[in-house]
Amino acid sequence: MNLTLLEAELRRDENVRYLPYLDTAEPPRRTIGAGHNMDAAPLPTEWTFPLTDAQVNQLLAQDIAKACAGLDHFLPWWRSLDDVRSRVLANMAFNMGIGKLLTFRNTLTDMKLGFYAAAANGMRSSLWARQVGARAQRLARAMETGVMPDEPIAD
């Protein structure tokens, strides 16, 4: 999986912020950087605001590693997906956490079996899709086609 592309996609999807804010989750969570949940994983006590680029990068790398570790533990087959589809799954795990992702039982089974259109339909019909809107539609399209909508198609 191309971590550089995943990082760029997460920066776009999470809208990097250098000051804490309350996200739109229920209940709202204190968030900073590229979607880092400060309530679940507090910042080092010596950090001050606004964060630096290096601090945002550090948090993002840690959060990506955590999402991928969860996928490796619970869905080890995810590594056999092509690059685009593995990034879709990593993006979803990053966004909602592995626990919520695992509730997508039928969608995950469809992904594992290569039924990508069915998996995309499952993604689109979820509460998550209604909550995150355009992000979910873009990821579902990528799951279905194997092409990230904003990436050039290789010849």
The CATH number assigned to the domain holding 132 equals 1.10.530.40
Domain containing 124: what range?
Answer: 3-43+52-145
Computed over every residue of the chain, the mean pLDDT equals: 94
In this structure, is residue 150 part of a structural domain? no
Q: Give the mean model confidence (pLDDT) for residues 40-67.
A: 96
Total domains present in the chain: 1
- The model's pTM is 0.92
Give the per-residue pLDDT at 153: 45
Assigned token pair, 88: 């879709």
In this structure, is residue 93 part of a structural domain? yes
In this structure, is residue 65 part of a structural domain? yes
In this structure, is residue 155 part of a structural domain? no
Which helix (H) or strand (E) segment holds residue 61: the answer is helix 53-74
| 139 C-beta neighbours (distance < 10 Å), count | 28
